């Protein structure tokens, strides 16, 4: 296996609405400029480009082709795409480097959620025969999961509110975060339900945004970064799409992905948990008690669809590159109620 590391990361500000097109070009151009500029690279230096996005969010077919305009028409590029969060594009780029065909790859993701009704758009990922026609929105499905955990005593509404309070406080140090500030759990719990038992603070906000990560192999990584975030393991697993066919208060796919990635003790974890109870669930499943969780604020403070998972990898890598952590875990999820999960483990080497 080749040594591969995250050497660069940049993201657009997480905002409620942008005025650009749904193909992401306006958000991606400055992100590319930042991540390449920080590394002293030109677009022509990138040997493989891989993106993650969704035509359902963009409201057009093959929307990722239009996004390539952000790269430019010349020179010709080696490019691929996944219809998923760009964390899975990162996995593809990692595999591409493992083949020995390339040494340097740029991964990017984007999503303009404000263009439609996200809660209803996400219904399209459900079983199209038995569940989709009922049109349960994504927040209501998460509410079913939250209620199951509450009824089983796996978490409480107080703990859920505490997650929101901590996340928004941590986000104060993140200039890209959409929501941040000091709140009290008591005040949050006094708010009305959005989808019982979920309140507004339990749900990630609607966000437009984009992000990019640069991966490099071996000596190339050492040339580009003083302290690369070396990927020691990366894996993804998926659970049943049948909501009634699995225990929604557990996440076997997360546990399996972490095991196959070689999970051990880490200093920090960036978890892709769009709902407060999902962070509690993931912490329990991965045994992360005592580990610092989402120092960036996480997706509860900014949730750009199809780049939020990639941002978890970038933020975890940043903790390593800055010397604030030696070992980090990044997690990404896709599908309803934590159906599909990816775990990426990274470490710093002095």
pLDDT at 127: 92
Q: Give me the domain span that covers residue 114.
A: 1-350
pLDDT of residue 75: 82
Q: What is the mean pLDDT of residues 294-323?
A: 98
Q: Which residue has the higher pLDDT, 337 or 73?
A: 337
Residue 83 sits in a domain whose CATH number is 3.40.47.10
Asked if the model's pLDDT at residue 146 lies above 90, the reply is yes
pLDDT digits (tens, 9 = 90+) for 215-245: 999 999 999 999 999 999 999 999 999 999 9
Residue 74's pLDDT band (boundaries 50, 70, 90)? Answer: confident
Residues in CB range of 346: below 8 A, 6 or more apart: 5, 6, 229, 230, 231, 232, 313, 316, 317, 320, 327, 328, 329, 330
| Helix intervals (H) in the chain | 25-39, 55-58, 63-67, 86-98, 118-121, 138-151, 157-170, 185-189, 218-224, 252-261, 276-286, 308-321
Model confidence pLDDT, tens digit, residues 15-35: 999 988 888 899 999 999 999
Q: DSSP character for 214?
A: E
> Which 3 state secondary structure label does DSSP give 340?
strand
Mean per-residue pLDDT over the chain, rounded: 96
What the block records as the tokens of 78 is 């080696």
Count of structural domains within the chain: 1
């Amino acid at each position: 296996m080749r040594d591969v590391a995250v050497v660069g990361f940049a993201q657009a500000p997480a905002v409620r609405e942008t005025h650009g097109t749904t193909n992401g070009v306006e958000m991606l151009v400055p992100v590319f400029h930042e991540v390449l500029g920080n590394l002293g690279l030109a677009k022509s230096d990138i040997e493989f480009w891989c993106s993650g996005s969704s035509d359902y969010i963009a409201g057009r077919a093959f929307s990722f082709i239009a996004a390539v305009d952000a790269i430019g028409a010349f020179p010709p590029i080696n490019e691929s795409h996944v219809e998923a969060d760009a964390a899975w594009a990162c996995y593809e780029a990692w595999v591409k480097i493992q083949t020995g065909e390339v040494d340097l790859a740029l991964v990017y993701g984007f999503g303009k959620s404000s263009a439609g009704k996200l809660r209803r758009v996400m219904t399209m990922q459900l079983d199209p025969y038995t569940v989709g026609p009922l049109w349960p929105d994504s927040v209501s499905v998460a509410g079913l999961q939250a209620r199951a955990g509450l009824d089983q005593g796996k978490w409480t509404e107080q703990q859920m509110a505490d997650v929101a309070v901590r996340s928004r406080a941590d986000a104060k140090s993140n200039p890209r975060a959409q929501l941040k500030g000091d709140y009290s759990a008591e005040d949050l719990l006094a708010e009305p339900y959005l989808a019982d038992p979920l309140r507004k603070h339990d749900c990630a906000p609607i966000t437009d945004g984009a992000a990019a990560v640069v991966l490099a192999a071996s000596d190339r990584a050492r040339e580009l970064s003083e302290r690369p975030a070396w990927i020691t393991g990366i894996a993804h697993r998926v659970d049943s799409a049948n909501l009634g066919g699995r225990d929604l208060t557990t996440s076997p796919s997360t546990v399996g992905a972490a095991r196959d990635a070689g999970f051990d003790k880490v200093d920090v974890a960036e978890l892709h948990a769009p709902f407060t109870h999902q962070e509690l669930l993931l912490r329990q499943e991965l045994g992360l008690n005592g580990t610092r969780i989402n120092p960036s604020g996480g997706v509860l403070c900014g949730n750009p669809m199809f780049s939020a998972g990639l941002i978890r990898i970038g933020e975890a890598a940043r903790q390593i590159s800055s010397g604030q952590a030696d070992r980090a875990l990044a997690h990404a999820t896709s599908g309803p109620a934590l159906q599909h999960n990816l775990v990426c483990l990274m470490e710093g080497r002095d």
